[in-house]
Amino acid sequence: MNCDDVRVALSARLDGEDPRLPSAALDAHTDSCPGCRSWLARAERVTRLTRLRAVDVPDLTAPVLAAASRAVSRSAATALAPGRG
């Protein structure tokens, strides 16, 4: 098991895939190998940023509320119109 094997496995584990190597062996290597430790720190940061961006959707709360408010006042006006004289 060399550093490349470990990094491939760590990357798979970060992606939620089967690392194909025992987690204990990966953690033991990462603990004893500064190169893989800093590689893992960078990979975790990239994975986190990617996930944050993936759920970054536009906030449509204001337009939806505005549309709903317009719909309510339109239906209220329609409901009141026949009663007015």
DSSP class of 55: T
Q: By C-beta, is 35 or 63 nearer to Zn ion? A: 35
Instruction: Using only the alpha carbons of the chain, give its radius of gyration.
Output: 27
The window from 13-21, 32-40, 43-51, 52-60 that contacts Zn ion (CB under 5 A) reads 32-40
Residue 7 Cβ, how far from Zn ion at the closest point, in Å?
7
Q: Could you tell me where the beta strands, DSSP code E, fall in the chain? A: none
Q: How far is the CB of 13 from Zn ion (least distance, A)?
A: 15
Q: Which two tokens stand for residue 31?
A: 């603990």
**Tokens representing 74?**
């339109």
Q: Does 36 bind Zn ion (CB under 5 A)?
A: yes
Q: Where does this chain bind Zn ion (CB under 5 A)?
A: 3, 33, 36
